[in-house]
Protein backbone atom coordinates (compact mmCIF):
# COMPACT_ATOMS: atom_id res chain seq x y z
CA UNK A 1 0.00 0.00 0.00
CA UNK A 2 0.94 3.61 -0.33
CA UNK A 3 -0.16 6.94 1.00
CA UNK A 4 0.62 10.09 -0.97
CA UNK A 5 -0.88 13.54 -0.68
CA UNK A 6 -0.32 16.70 -2.66
CA UNK A 7 -1.59 20.16 -1.72
CA UNK A 8 -1.90 23.30 -3.79
CA UNK A 9 -1.57 26.51 -1.74
CA UNK A 10 -1.55 30.21 -2.58
CA UNK A 11 2.18 30.25 -1.86
CA UNK A 12 3.21 26.95 -3.43
CA UNK A 13 2.80 23.21 -3.20
CA UNK A 14 3.59 20.49 -0.68
CA UNK A 15 3.90 16.79 -1.50
CA UNK A 16 4.30 14.02 1.07
CA UNK A 17 4.60 10.32 0.32
CA UNK A 18 5.55 7.20 2.20
CA UNK A 19 7.99 4.71 0.71
CA UNK A 20 6.84 1.27 1.78
CA UNK A 21 6.09 -1.29 -0.90
CA UNK A 22 4.92 -4.75 -0.04
CA UNK A 23 4.08 -7.91 -1.86
CA UNK A 24 2.60 -9.78 1.09
CA UNK A 25 3.72 -9.00 4.62
CA UNK A 26 6.99 -10.90 4.20
CA UNK A 27 8.27 -8.86 1.29
CA UNK A 28 8.47 -5.26 2.35
CA UNK A 29 10.75 -2.86 0.55
CA UNK A 30 11.54 0.82 0.29
CA UNK A 31 10.69 2.54 -2.97
CA UNK A 32 10.30 6.25 -3.38
CA UNK A 33 6.89 7.16 -4.76
CA UNK A 34 7.63 10.74 -5.77
CA UNK A 35 9.64 11.79 -8.80
CA UNK A 36 10.78 15.32 -9.64
CA UNK A 37 11.06 16.60 -13.20
CA UNK A 38 12.86 19.92 -12.93
CA UNK A 39 14.47 22.43 -15.23
CA UNK A 40 15.31 25.05 -12.66
CA UNK A 41 13.99 28.48 -13.49
CA UNK A 42 11.83 27.14 -16.31
CA UNK A 43 9.60 24.39 -14.91
CA UNK A 44 9.20 22.05 -11.95
CA UNK A 45 6.91 19.01 -11.87
CA UNK A 46 6.34 16.49 -9.09
CA UNK A 47 4.72 13.14 -9.79
CA UNK A 48 3.51 10.78 -7.05
CA UNK A 49 2.36 7.27 -7.99
CA UNK A 50 0.40 4.68 -6.01
CA UNK A 51 -0.58 1.16 -7.03
CA UNK A 52 1.30 -1.74 -8.53
CA UNK A 53 5.02 -0.90 -8.39
CA UNK A 54 5.84 -2.31 -11.83
CA UNK A 55 3.16 -0.13 -13.39
CA UNK A 56 4.33 2.93 -11.44
CA UNK A 57 7.94 2.45 -12.49
CA UNK A 58 6.98 1.86 -16.12
CA UNK A 59 5.02 5.11 -16.22
CA UNK A 60 8.03 7.01 -14.84
CA UNK A 61 10.39 5.25 -17.28
CA UNK A 62 8.26 6.12 -20.28
CA UNK A 63 8.09 9.76 -19.21
CA UNK A 64 11.87 9.85 -18.69
CA UNK A 65 12.60 8.11 -21.98
CA UNK A 66 10.46 10.59 -23.89
CA UNK A 67 12.53 13.44 -22.45
CA UNK A 68 15.79 11.72 -23.34
CA UNK A 69 14.58 10.84 -26.86
CA UNK A 70 13.74 14.52 -27.47
CA UNK A 71 11.04 13.50 -29.91
CA UNK A 72 7.47 14.71 -29.84
CA UNK A 73 5.88 16.18 -26.71
CA UNK A 74 7.43 15.40 -23.32
CA UNK A 75 7.46 16.86 -19.82
CA UNK A 76 10.36 19.22 -20.61
CA UNK A 77 8.86 20.77 -23.74
CA UNK A 78 5.11 20.80 -23.05
CA UNK A 79 3.66 24.29 -22.77
CA UNK A 80 1.62 24.04 -19.62
CA UNK A 81 0.54 21.73 -16.80
CA UNK A 82 -2.58 20.62 -18.63
CA UNK A 83 -0.44 19.24 -21.44
CA UNK A 84 1.80 17.62 -18.82
CA UNK A 85 -1.22 15.89 -17.29
CA UNK A 86 -2.22 14.65 -20.75
CA UNK A 87 1.30 13.21 -21.21
CA UNK A 88 1.15 11.44 -17.86
CA UNK A 89 -2.29 10.05 -18.74
CA UNK A 90 -0.93 8.86 -22.10
CA UNK A 91 1.97 7.09 -20.37
CA UNK A 92 -0.51 5.33 -18.05
CA UNK A 93 -2.52 4.20 -21.08
CA UNK A 94 0.64 2.96 -22.85
CA UNK A 95 1.51 0.75 -19.89
CA UNK A 96 -2.08 -0.46 -19.71
CA UNK A 97 -2.00 -1.41 -23.38
CA UNK A 98 1.26 -3.30 -22.96
CA UNK A 99 0.70 -4.98 -19.56
CA UNK A 100 -3.02 -4.71 -18.77
CA UNK A 101 -4.16 -7.97 -20.33
CA UNK A 102 -1.30 -10.03 -18.92
CA UNK A 103 -1.81 -8.59 -15.42
CA UNK A 104 -5.52 -9.37 -15.64
CA UNK A 105 -4.73 -12.97 -16.55
CA UNK A 106 -2.76 -13.22 -13.31
CA UNK A 107 -5.53 -11.60 -11.29
CA UNK A 108 -3.52 -8.40 -10.78
CA UNK A 109 -5.57 -5.24 -10.97
CA UNK A 110 -4.32 -2.38 -13.15
CA UNK A 111 -4.87 0.31 -10.56
CA UNK A 112 -2.29 3.11 -10.69
CA UNK A 113 -3.30 6.43 -9.16
CA UNK A 114 -1.17 9.51 -9.66
CA UNK A 115 -0.82 13.04 -8.40
CA UNK A 116 0.89 15.54 -10.68
CA UNK A 117 1.68 19.03 -9.48
CA UNK A 118 3.91 21.74 -10.73
CA UNK A 119 4.46 25.02 -12.46
CA UNK A 120 5.59 25.78 -15.97
CA UNK A 121 6.79 29.27 -16.86
CA UNK A 122 4.41 32.08 -16.02
CA UNK A 123 1.36 29.84 -15.57
CA UNK A 124 0.19 29.55 -11.92
CA UNK A 125 1.00 26.24 -10.15
CA UNK A 126 -1.54 23.50 -10.88
CA UNK A 127 -2.33 20.15 -9.31
CA UNK A 128 -3.90 17.09 -10.99
CA UNK A 129 -5.15 13.67 -9.99
CA UNK A 130 -4.59 11.18 -12.83
CA UNK A 131 -6.62 7.97 -12.83
CA UNK A 132 -5.84 4.47 -14.10
CA UNK A 133 -7.80 5.19 -17.29
CA UNK A 134 -5.46 8.10 -18.03
CA UNK A 135 -8.14 10.73 -17.45
CA UNK A 136 -7.60 13.34 -14.76
CA UNK A 137 -9.14 16.04 -12.61
CA UNK A 138 -7.64 19.30 -11.39
CA UNK A 139 -7.60 20.84 -7.91
CA UNK A 140 -9.74 23.92 -7.45
CA UNK A 141 -10.06 26.52 -4.74
CA UNK A 142 -12.75 24.37 -3.08
CA UNK A 143 -10.77 21.12 -3.22
CA UNK A 144 -7.16 22.05 -2.94
CA UNK A 145 -5.56 18.67 -2.31
CA UNK A 146 -5.50 15.11 -3.63
CA UNK A 147 -4.71 11.85 -1.88
CA UNK A 148 -3.86 8.51 -3.46
CA UNK A 149 -3.52 5.07 -1.87
CA UNK A 150 -4.59 4.51 1.74
CA UNK A 151 -6.37 7.84 2.06
CA UNK A 152 -9.16 7.48 4.60
CA UNK A 153 -7.38 7.44 7.97
CA UNK A 154 -5.58 10.68 7.25
CA UNK A 155 -8.35 12.56 5.48
CA UNK A 156 -10.34 14.13 8.37
CA UNK A 157 -7.46 16.28 9.64
CA UNK A 158 -6.66 17.64 6.16
CA UNK A 159 -10.33 18.49 5.61
CA UNK A 160 -10.39 20.42 8.86
CA UNK A 161 -7.10 22.30 8.49
CA UNK A 162 -5.92 22.84 4.93
CA UNK A 163 -7.25 25.68 2.80
CA UNK A 164 -5.69 27.40 -0.21
CA UNK A 165 -4.55 30.19 2.13
CA UNK A 166 -2.80 27.83 4.57
CA UNK A 167 0.94 28.52 4.87
CA UNK A 168 3.49 26.00 3.61
CA UNK A 169 4.70 25.31 7.16
CA UNK A 170 1.18 24.63 8.44
CA UNK A 171 0.46 22.41 5.45
CA UNK A 172 3.61 20.35 6.05
CA UNK A 173 2.61 19.97 9.70
CA UNK A 174 -0.88 18.86 8.71
CA UNK A 175 0.35 16.33 6.16
CA UNK A 176 2.74 14.86 8.75
CA UNK A 177 -0.17 14.45 11.18
CA UNK A 178 -2.23 12.88 8.42
CA UNK A 179 0.62 10.50 7.53
CA UNK A 180 1.08 9.61 11.21
CA UNK A 181 -2.60 8.63 11.55
CA UNK A 182 -2.28 6.50 8.42
CA UNK A 183 0.91 4.74 9.47
CA UNK A 184 -0.60 3.90 12.87
CA UNK A 185 -3.56 2.20 11.19
CA UNK A 186 -1.97 0.56 8.14
CA UNK A 187 1.29 -1.33 8.54
CA UNK A 188 1.90 -1.26 4.80
CA UNK A 189 2.38 2.51 4.89
CA UNK A 190 5.79 3.37 6.33
CA UNK A 191 8.86 5.60 6.49
CA UNK A 192 11.06 7.10 5.24
CA UNK A 193 8.75 9.89 4.12
CA UNK A 194 9.47 11.96 1.06
CA UNK A 195 8.66 15.63 1.57
CA UNK A 196 8.84 17.96 -1.40
CA UNK A 197 8.14 21.68 -1.14
CA UNK A 198 7.75 23.94 -4.16
CA UNK A 199 7.33 27.68 -3.68
CA UNK A 200 5.22 29.59 -6.14
CA UNK A 201 7.10 31.19 -9.03
CA UNK A 202 10.49 29.76 -8.01
CA UNK A 203 10.24 27.06 -10.72
CA UNK A 204 12.48 24.70 -8.71
CA UNK A 205 12.16 22.43 -5.68
CA UNK A 206 12.61 24.54 -2.57
CA UNK A 207 13.14 21.57 -0.27
CA UNK A 208 13.28 17.82 -0.77
CA UNK A 209 13.64 16.06 2.57
CA UNK A 210 13.70 12.40 3.51
CA UNK A 211 12.10 12.03 6.92
CA UNK A 212 13.03 8.88 8.84
CA UNK A 213 10.90 7.70 11.75
CA UNK A 214 13.56 8.92 14.19
CA UNK A 215 13.51 12.45 12.70
CA UNK A 216 13.27 14.79 15.71
CA UNK A 217 10.62 17.08 14.25
CA UNK A 218 8.45 14.23 13.04
CA UNK A 219 8.69 12.63 16.49
CA UNK A 220 7.72 15.90 18.14
CA UNK A 221 4.70 16.10 15.82
CA UNK A 222 3.55 12.53 16.43
CA UNK A 223 4.00 12.56 20.20
CA UNK A 224 2.69 16.12 20.47
CA UNK A 225 -0.37 15.20 18.45
CA UNK A 226 -1.11 12.11 20.55
CA UNK A 227 -0.94 14.20 23.69
CA UNK A 228 -2.90 17.08 22.20
CA UNK A 229 -5.66 14.73 21.00
CA UNK A 230 -6.01 13.11 24.40
CA UNK A 231 -6.05 16.53 26.04
CA UNK A 232 -8.62 17.82 23.53
CA UNK A 233 -10.75 14.75 24.12
CA UNK A 234 -10.73 15.16 27.89
CA UNK A 235 -11.89 18.78 27.48
CA UNK A 236 -15.04 17.73 25.59
CA UNK A 237 -18.24 18.09 27.60
CA UNK A 238 -19.55 15.07 29.50
CA UNK A 239 -23.12 13.86 29.47
CA UNK A 240 -25.04 11.84 32.02
CA UNK A 241 -26.41 9.07 29.83
CA UNK A 242 -27.41 6.89 32.75
CA UNK A 243 -29.25 9.37 34.96
CA UNK A 244 -26.73 9.40 37.78
CA UNK A 245 -26.47 5.66 38.06
CA UNK B 1 -23.03 2.44 3.62
CA UNK B 2 -23.09 1.98 7.34
CA UNK B 3 -20.89 2.67 10.30
CA UNK B 4 -21.36 0.66 13.49
CA UNK B 5 -19.02 0.24 16.42
CA UNK B 6 -19.30 -1.86 19.58
CA UNK B 7 -17.01 -1.57 22.59
CA UNK B 8 -16.48 -3.96 25.49
CA UNK B 9 -15.47 -2.22 28.72
CA UNK B 10 -14.80 -3.39 32.26
CA UNK B 11 -18.08 -1.79 33.31
CA UNK B 12 -20.26 -2.73 30.36
CA UNK B 13 -20.74 -2.24 26.66
CA UNK B 14 -21.49 0.65 24.32
CA UNK B 15 -22.91 0.31 20.80
CA UNK B 16 -23.29 3.15 18.33
CA UNK B 17 -24.67 2.87 14.82
CA UNK B 18 -25.83 5.22 12.10
CA UNK B 19 -29.12 4.64 10.31
CA UNK B 20 -28.62 5.70 6.71
CA UNK B 21 -29.28 3.20 3.97
CA UNK B 22 -28.82 4.08 0.36
CA UNK B 23 -29.30 2.42 -2.97
CA UNK B 24 -27.60 5.07 -5.07
CA UNK B 25 -27.51 8.67 -3.92
CA UNK B 26 -31.13 9.27 -4.90
CA UNK B 27 -32.60 6.59 -2.70
CA UNK B 28 -31.63 7.30 0.86
CA UNK B 29 -33.63 5.89 3.74
CA UNK B 30 -33.52 5.45 7.48
CA UNK B 31 -33.15 1.92 8.82
CA UNK B 32 -31.95 1.09 12.29
CA UNK B 33 -28.93 -1.18 12.20
CA UNK B 34 -28.99 -2.31 15.81
CA UNK B 35 -31.41 -4.86 17.26
CA UNK B 36 -31.82 -5.72 20.94
CA UNK B 37 -32.70 -9.23 22.15
CA UNK B 38 -33.49 -8.84 25.82
CA UNK B 39 -34.98 -10.92 28.60
CA UNK B 40 -34.43 -8.47 31.42
CA UNK B 41 -32.58 -9.95 34.36
CA UNK B 42 -31.63 -13.06 32.40
CA UNK B 43 -29.86 -11.97 29.22
CA UNK B 44 -29.29 -9.02 26.94
CA UNK B 45 -27.88 -9.19 23.41
CA UNK B 46 -27.25 -6.40 20.93
CA UNK B 47 -26.74 -7.14 17.24
CA UNK B 48 -25.48 -4.57 14.72
CA UNK B 49 -25.50 -5.42 11.02
CA UNK B 50 -23.81 -3.72 8.07
CA UNK B 51 -24.03 -4.61 4.40
CA UNK B 52 -26.90 -5.32 2.03
CA UNK B 53 -30.12 -4.35 3.82
CA UNK B 54 -32.15 -7.33 2.58
CA UNK B 55 -29.50 -9.69 3.92
CA UNK B 56 -29.32 -7.83 7.24
CA UNK B 57 -33.09 -7.91 7.70
CA UNK B 58 -33.29 -11.59 6.78
CA UNK B 59 -30.68 -12.48 9.38
CA UNK B 60 -32.65 -10.59 12.05
CA UNK B 61 -35.92 -12.19 10.91
CA UNK B 62 -34.50 -15.70 11.08
CA UNK B 63 -33.17 -15.09 14.58
CA UNK B 64 -36.54 -13.66 15.69
CA UNK B 65 -38.50 -16.47 14.09
CA UNK B 66 -36.42 -19.10 15.86
CA UNK B 67 -37.28 -17.48 19.20
CA UNK B 68 -40.97 -17.37 18.37
CA UNK B 69 -40.98 -20.97 17.09
CA UNK B 70 -39.45 -22.14 20.39
CA UNK B 71 -37.83 -25.04 18.62
CA UNK B 72 -34.18 -25.95 18.83
CA UNK B 73 -31.51 -23.49 19.94
CA UNK B 74 -32.25 -19.77 19.72
CA UNK B 75 -31.01 -16.53 21.24
CA UNK B 76 -33.33 -16.82 24.24
CA UNK B 77 -32.36 -20.35 25.26
CA UNK B 78 -28.68 -20.59 24.32
CA UNK B 79 -26.39 -21.03 27.30
CA UNK B 80 -23.73 -18.46 26.61
CA UNK B 81 -22.58 -15.79 24.19
CA UNK B 82 -20.39 -18.20 22.26
CA UNK B 83 -23.48 -20.25 21.40
CA UNK B 84 -25.28 -17.03 20.51
CA UNK B 85 -22.49 -16.09 18.09
CA UNK B 86 -22.78 -19.56 16.52
CA UNK B 87 -26.52 -19.00 16.05
CA UNK B 88 -25.95 -15.63 14.40
CA UNK B 89 -23.32 -17.19 12.14
CA UNK B 90 -25.74 -19.98 11.23
CA UNK B 91 -28.44 -17.42 10.35
CA UNK B 92 -25.96 -15.63 8.07
CA UNK B 93 -25.16 -18.93 6.37
CA UNK B 94 -28.85 -19.73 5.96
CA UNK B 95 -29.44 -16.45 4.13
CA UNK B 96 -26.34 -17.04 2.03
CA UNK B 97 -27.63 -20.48 1.01
CA UNK B 98 -31.02 -19.08 0.07
CA UNK B 99 -30.01 -15.77 -1.58
CA UNK B 100 -26.28 -15.94 -2.28
CA UNK B 101 -26.41 -17.41 -5.77
CA UNK B 102 -29.22 -15.15 -6.96
CA UNK B 103 -27.49 -12.04 -5.60
CA UNK B 104 -24.27 -13.07 -7.34
CA UNK B 105 -26.13 -13.40 -10.64
CA UNK B 106 -27.19 -9.78 -10.24
CA UNK B 107 -23.68 -8.67 -9.35
CA UNK B 108 -24.63 -8.00 -5.72
CA UNK B 109 -21.99 -8.99 -3.22
CA UNK B 110 -23.02 -11.09 -0.22
CA UNK B 111 -21.14 -9.00 2.32
CA UNK B 112 -22.90 -8.75 5.69
CA UNK B 113 -20.74 -7.84 8.68
CA UNK B 114 -22.10 -8.10 12.19
CA UNK B 115 -21.22 -7.13 15.72
CA UNK B 116 -22.82 -9.17 18.51
CA UNK B 117 -22.37 -8.16 22.13
CA UNK B 118 -24.14 -9.10 25.29
CA UNK B 119 -24.26 -10.93 28.56
CA UNK B 120 -26.06 -14.14 29.46
CA UNK B 121 -26.54 -15.07 33.14
CA UNK B 122 -23.40 -15.11 35.22
CA UNK B 123 -21.00 -15.18 32.27
CA UNK B 124 -19.05 -11.93 31.79
CA UNK B 125 -20.13 -9.70 28.88
CA UNK B 126 -18.62 -10.74 25.54
CA UNK B 127 -18.32 -9.08 22.15
CA UNK B 128 -18.04 -10.80 18.74
CA UNK B 129 -17.45 -9.80 15.14
CA UNK B 130 -19.33 -12.16 12.80
CA UNK B 131 -18.22 -12.35 9.17
CA UNK B 132 -20.16 -13.03 5.96
CA UNK B 133 -18.98 -16.65 6.04
CA UNK B 134 -20.63 -17.09 9.44
CA UNK B 135 -17.34 -17.47 11.29
CA UNK B 136 -16.49 -14.98 14.03
CA UNK B 137 -13.82 -13.55 16.29
CA UNK B 138 -14.10 -12.32 19.88
CA UNK B 139 -12.85 -9.11 21.46
CA UNK B 140 -9.97 -9.50 23.90
CA UNK B 141 -8.32 -7.19 26.40
CA UNK B 142 -5.92 -6.06 23.66
CA UNK B 143 -8.60 -5.38 21.07
CA UNK B 144 -11.67 -4.32 22.91
CA UNK B 145 -13.82 -2.98 20.08
CA UNK B 146 -15.11 -3.88 16.64
CA UNK B 147 -16.19 -1.69 13.74
CA UNK B 148 -18.22 -2.66 10.71
CA UNK B 149 -18.97 -0.72 7.53
CA UNK B 150 -17.16 2.54 6.82
CA UNK B 151 -14.60 2.07 9.56
CA UNK B 152 -11.42 3.88 8.55
CA UNK B 153 -12.21 7.57 9.09
CA UNK B 154 -13.29 6.99 12.69
CA UNK B 155 -10.69 4.42 13.70
CA UNK B 156 -7.69 6.57 14.76
CA UNK B 157 -9.51 8.31 17.64
CA UNK B 158 -10.81 5.02 19.07
CA UNK B 159 -7.34 3.49 18.90
CA UNK B 160 -5.95 6.42 20.83
CA UNK B 161 -8.65 6.70 23.50
CA UNK B 162 -10.57 3.51 24.23
CA UNK B 163 -9.19 0.85 26.57
CA UNK B 164 -11.04 -1.84 28.54
CA UNK B 165 -10.76 0.42 31.60
CA UNK B 166 -12.36 3.43 29.87
CA UNK B 167 -15.59 4.58 31.53
CA UNK B 168 -18.91 4.22 29.74
CA UNK B 169 -19.29 8.02 29.49
CA UNK B 170 -15.84 8.45 27.94
CA UNK B 171 -16.49 5.61 25.52
CA UNK B 172 -19.78 7.17 24.38
CA UNK B 173 -17.99 10.48 23.86
CA UNK B 174 -15.25 8.79 21.84
CA UNK B 175 -17.71 6.87 19.65
CA UNK B 176 -19.61 10.08 18.94
CA UNK B 177 -16.37 11.77 17.85
CA UNK B 178 -15.56 8.73 15.72
CA UNK B 179 -19.04 8.83 14.16
CA UNK B 180 -18.72 12.57 13.52
CA UNK B 181 -15.44 12.08 11.61
CA UNK B 182 -17.08 9.34 9.56
CA UNK B 183 -20.21 11.33 8.74
CA UNK B 184 -18.11 14.32 7.64
CA UNK B 185 -16.22 12.14 5.16
CA UNK B 186 -18.89 9.74 3.90
CA UNK B 187 -22.28 11.13 2.95
CA UNK B 188 -23.84 7.66 3.07
CA UNK B 189 -23.34 7.49 6.84
CA UNK B 190 -25.91 9.62 8.62
CA UNK B 191 -28.20 10.31 11.56
CA UNK B 192 -30.21 9.50 13.56
CA UNK B 193 -27.66 7.60 15.60
CA UNK B 194 -28.62 4.62 17.69
CA UNK B 195 -26.83 4.55 21.03
CA UNK B 196 -27.20 1.49 23.24
CA UNK B 197 -25.56 1.21 26.63
CA UNK B 198 -25.43 -2.03 28.62
CA UNK B 199 -24.00 -2.01 32.13
CA UNK B 200 -22.19 -5.10 33.34
CA UNK B 201 -24.32 -7.60 35.29
CA UNK B 202 -27.56 -5.66 34.85
CA UNK B 203 -28.72 -8.03 32.07
CA UNK B 204 -30.84 -5.33 30.47
CA UNK B 205 -30.32 -2.27 28.30
CA UNK B 206 -29.41 0.66 30.55
CA UNK B 207 -30.02 3.28 27.88
CA UNK B 208 -31.22 3.21 24.30
CA UNK B 209 -31.10 6.69 22.78
CA UNK B 210 -31.81 7.98 19.31
CA UNK B 211 -29.51 10.92 18.64
CA UNK B 212 -30.66 13.30 15.91
CA UNK B 213 -28.22 15.69 14.28
CA UNK B 214 -29.75 18.59 16.25
CA UNK B 215 -29.21 16.79 19.58
CA UNK B 216 -27.61 19.39 21.86
CA UNK B 217 -24.97 17.11 23.34
CA UNK B 218 -23.97 15.69 19.97
CA UNK B 219 -23.69 19.21 18.61
CA UNK B 220 -21.53 20.27 21.55
CA UNK B 221 -19.27 17.27 20.87
CA UNK B 222 -18.92 17.91 17.15
CA UNK B 223 -18.34 21.66 17.41
CA UNK B 224 -16.17 21.24 20.51
CA UNK B 225 -14.07 18.65 18.73
CA UNK B 226 -13.58 20.79 15.65
CA UNK B 227 -12.41 23.65 17.79
CA UNK B 228 -10.24 21.45 20.01
CA UNK B 229 -8.58 19.85 16.98
CA UNK B 230 -7.77 23.19 15.43
CA UNK B 231 -6.44 24.44 18.77
CA UNK B 232 -4.39 21.25 19.24
CA UNK B 233 -3.01 21.58 15.72
CA UNK B 234 -1.92 25.18 16.25
CA UNK B 235 -0.07 24.13 19.42
CA UNK B 236 2.11 21.64 17.54
CA UNK B 237 5.72 22.75 17.10
CA UNK B 238 6.69 24.56 13.89
CA UNK B 239 9.71 23.79 11.78
CA UNK B 240 11.65 25.97 9.41
CA UNK B 241 11.70 23.79 6.30
CA UNK B 242 12.85 26.59 4.03
CA UNK B 243 15.76 28.03 6.03
CA UNK B 244 14.12 31.33 6.82
CA UNK B 245 13.05 32.07 3.26
Q: What is the pLDDT of residues B92-115, one digit of tens each?
A: 999 999 999 999 999 988 999 999
B238 DSSP assignment:
P
Residue B38: the pLDDT is 96
How would residue A23 be classed by pLDDT, with cut points 50, 70 and 90?
Answer: low
Band of pLDDT at residue B1, cut at 50, 70 and 90:
confident
pLDDT tens for B218-231 read: 999 999 998 998 88
- Output the pLDDT for position B118: 98
Using the Cβ of B233 and the Cβ atoms of chain A, whether some distance falls under 8 Å is answered with yes
Q: What is the ipTM of this complex?
A: 0.80
Residues A106 and A2: beta-carbon distance below 8 Å = no
Chain CA centroid to CA B66, Å: 23
Cβ atoms of B117 and B12 within 8 Å: the answer is no
What share of chain A in percent tops pLDDT 90? Answer: 78
Chain B residues with CB under 8 Å of A169 CB are: 238-241
Q: How far is B234 from chain A (nearest CA, A)?
A: 8
B245, A206 contact by CB (below 8 A)? yes
User: Mind telling me how many Å the CA of A71 is from chain B's nearest CA?
Assistant: 36
Compute the average pLDDT of residues B57-81.
95
B156–A161: do the CB atoms touch at under 8 Å? no
Q: Which CATH superfamily is domain A3-235 in?
A: Aminohydrolase, N-terminal nucleophile (Ntn) domain (3.60.20.10)
Chain-chain contact of B241 with A152 (C-beta, under 8 angstroms): no
| A70 Cβ under 8 Å from any chain B Cβ | no
Suggest the residue from B200, B223, B242, B244 to mutate for an interface test with chain A (most A CBs closer than 10 A): B242
Could you tell me the sign of the dihedral formed by the alpha carbons of A181, A187, A193, A194, in that order? Answer: negative
pLDDT value at residue B92: 97
Asked if B244 is an interface residue toward chain A (Cβ–Cβ < 8 A), one would say no
Segments of chain A assigned E as strands: 3-9, 12-17, 20-22, 28-30, 34-39, 43-50, 113-120, 126-130, 136-138, 145-149, 193-199, 205-211
Segment B167-180 shows an average pLDDT of 95
Q: d(Cα B123, Cα B140) in Å, to the nearest integer?
A: 15
Nearest by CB to residue B229, choosing from A160, A172, A224, is: A160
Q: Given an 8 Å threshold on Cβ–Cβ distance, is B236 in contact with A195?
A: no
Mean pLDDT of the residues in chain B: 92
Point out the least confidently predicted range of A16-25, A91-100, B101-110, B165-174: A16-25
Give A225-242 pLDDT, tens digit per residue: 989 988 899 989 999 898
Q: Which of A159, A195, A228 sits opposite B232 (nearest CB)?
A: A228
Q: Find the radius of gyration of the CA atoms of chain A.
A: 19
Cα dihedral value B19, B23, B28, B31, nearest 10: -30
Tens of pLDDT, residues A156-180: 899 989 999 999 999 999 999 999 9
Is the Cβ pair A241, B209 closer than 8 Å? yes
What does the domain layout of chain B look like in residue ranges? Answer: 3-235
What's the confidence (pLDDT) of residue B84? 98
Lowest pLDDT segment from A117-121, A142-146, A189-193, B21-25:
B21-25
Alpha-carbon distance of A90 to A75, in angstroms, equals 12
The answer to whether the Cβ–Cβ distance between B233 and A177 falls below 8 Å is yes
What integer pLDDT is reported at residue A244 of this predicted model? 65
CA distance A84 to A75: 6
Pick the closest to residue A49 from A23, A88, A84 (CA basis): A88
Per-residue pLDDT, averaged over B155-181, amounts to: 94
pLDDT of residue A187: 83
User: What part of B 158-177 touches A (C-beta under 8 Å)?
Assistant: 159-161, 168-169, 172-174, 177
Query: Please, is B126 exposed, middle or buried when counting C-beta atoms within 10 Å of its C-beta (0-12, 13-18, 19+)?
Result: buried
* Cα–Cα distance for residue pair A226/A220, rounded to 1 Å: 10
User: Is pLDDT above 90 for A188?
Assistant: no
Contact B228 A224 (CB under 8 A): no
Amino acid sequence: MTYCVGVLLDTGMVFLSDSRTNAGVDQVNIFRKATVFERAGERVLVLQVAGNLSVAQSVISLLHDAIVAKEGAHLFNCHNMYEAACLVGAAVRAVQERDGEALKNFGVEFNPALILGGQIGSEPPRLFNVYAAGNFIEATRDTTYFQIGESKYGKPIIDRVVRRSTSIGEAVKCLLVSMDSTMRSNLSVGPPLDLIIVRRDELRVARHASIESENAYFRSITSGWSEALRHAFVQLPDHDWLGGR
